[in-house]
Amino acid sequence: MNIYFSGIGGVGLGPLAEIALDAGHTVSGSDPTDGLMTDHLLGRGVAVSHDQTGDFLSQQHSQFAIDWFVYTAALPDHHPELVLAKKLGIKTSKRDELLSYIIQEKNMKLIAITGTHGKTTTTAMTVWAMRQLQVPVSYSVGTTLTFGPSGHFDPASEYFVYECDEFDRNFLHFHPHLSLIPSIDYDHPDTYPTQDDYDAAFRQFVDQSDFTILWKKDGARIGDSKNTWQLGEHDVADVQLAGEHYRRNASLVVKAMEKLHIPGDAVAALNQFPGVDRRFEKLADNLYTDYGHHPVEIAATLQLARELSQDVVLVYQPHQNVRQHEMIDLYTDCFEKASEVYWLATYLTREDPNLPVLTPQQLSKKVTNLDSIHLADLDDDLWATIESARKRGALVLCMGAGTIDDWVRDRLKMSR
């Protein structure tokens, strides 16, 4: 089958393109920018173009007859490539439909990891544990890994491990053999108008799964459901990892290995887990970056940071104004483990133009340690503050899903 990916360099489509390639399909695609993923795919002989006017798609279709056009959720309905693909009669879909097809085509058992927080780390931990326990595994993770590519297809594998995102109800495309849910809070108000809508989607996902492992507090949110293993505090595994949330995520993986009857010492394997990019990733001495952008994630990551240092400086960039309208009342005690917080303007993406943009002053008004809050911009003054904090021995944590990660990496390169 010939598959074309529009947005092939992204964290979602790039790994899927590799999986499709490894599964025996012909792959091509486009992306407006260069990156590590496009470079990697080009190195594997994949035809990739910056042209998204439709000309490259038309050229590929005339050569190979494209069977399936896969696009990112960010692609607008009027995008030239999507419009052309429909005009040419090519099957079009977002990534999950294709992945579901490949899993069924190869007769694999899906291990799906979903939840509001912790799914990326838990997915990576599951892949790591299975590899360490000598179990062939195919997988897709929503970040880059230190121990392998983001997506991989192993023809010898019985299992496919997938980070199954609840955004846009993507996870409801799947009927997993086993599901792990690290946490359920409320998120993505643009997809789920109310918390009840959000919880109902998770209830449906659990009902679609053959078996689910989750925590009792999250099981209580979705109500009684058959075929679940609900863990209590006594079920936290004796894993020697920093951070309570890391230990809890690892506990789900230990139980998953038990449920799947995979032999070997899963705890010992997880004690060697090397972590993943953008999840409390160390960039330099006393400098870390993290993708978290929800109050629960902030509190959990600060707790992890405090296990390493008693002086933690947080630089925080909120993500998406529509989310901030839902989370404003949750910004209370989540910053208490930080000595200082430098609060940036919200990174804007997929916004409702009718919603006023909330300012840092408005968002932080209920923070319990308000005296520790400083308003900041991504500029020279902030970098000087970060460098000063590092020099005094403080652990500096930069959190957010927007531009903050690229900014701090670029500044670090310039300072070397």
Selection from 339, 334, 289, 335 nearest residue 313 by Cα: 339
Q: Is 393 left (phi over 0), alpha (psi -120 to 50) or beta?
A: left
Within a domain: 276:
no
User: Looking at the predicted structure, is the pLDDT value of residue 224 above 80?
Assistant: no
What is the average per-residue pLDDT within 239-267?
96
Q: What is the pLDDT of residues 192-202, one digit of tens each?
A: 999 999 999 99
Residue 41 backbone phi and psi in degrees, to 5: -65, -40
Q: What is the pLDDT of residues 166-199, one digit of tens each?
A: 988 989 999 999 999 999 998 888 899 999 999 9
CATH number, domain containing residue 324: 3.90.190.20
Within a domain: 98:
no
pTM across the whole model: 0.84
What is the average per-residue pLDDT within 144-172?
91
How many whole angstroms separate alpha carbon 241 and alpha carbon 249? 10
User: Looking at the predicted structure, is the pLDDT value of residue 146 above 90?
Assistant: no
Within a domain: 296:
yes
Query: Strands, E, within 157-239: which ranges?
Result: 159-163, 178-181, 212-215, 228-231
Residue 59: give the domain boundaries: 2-93
Name the amino acid, one letter, at 23: A
Q: Identify whether residues 266 and 289 lie together within a single domain.
A: no
Q: Identify whether residues 252 and 342 lie together within a single domain.
A: no
Torsion (CA) 339, 342, 343, 345 in degrees, nearest 10 = -170
In this predicted structure, what is the pLDDT of residue 168?
A: 85
CATH number, domain containing residue 178: 3.40.1190.10
Q: Identify whether residues 362 and 382 lie together within a single domain.
A: yes
What percent of the chain lies above the pLDDT cut of 90? Answer: 87
How many whole angstroms separate alpha carbon 120 and alpha carbon 143? 7
What is the average per-residue pLDDT within 124-137?
98
Q: What is the pLDDT of residues 284-307, one digit of tens each?
A: 999 999 999 999 999 999 999 999
Residue 307 backbone phi and psi in degrees, to 5: -70, -20
Structural domain count, the chain: 3
Confidence of residue 143 (pLDDT cuts 50, 70, 90): confident
Which stretch of DSSP H or E encloses residue 410? helix 404-415
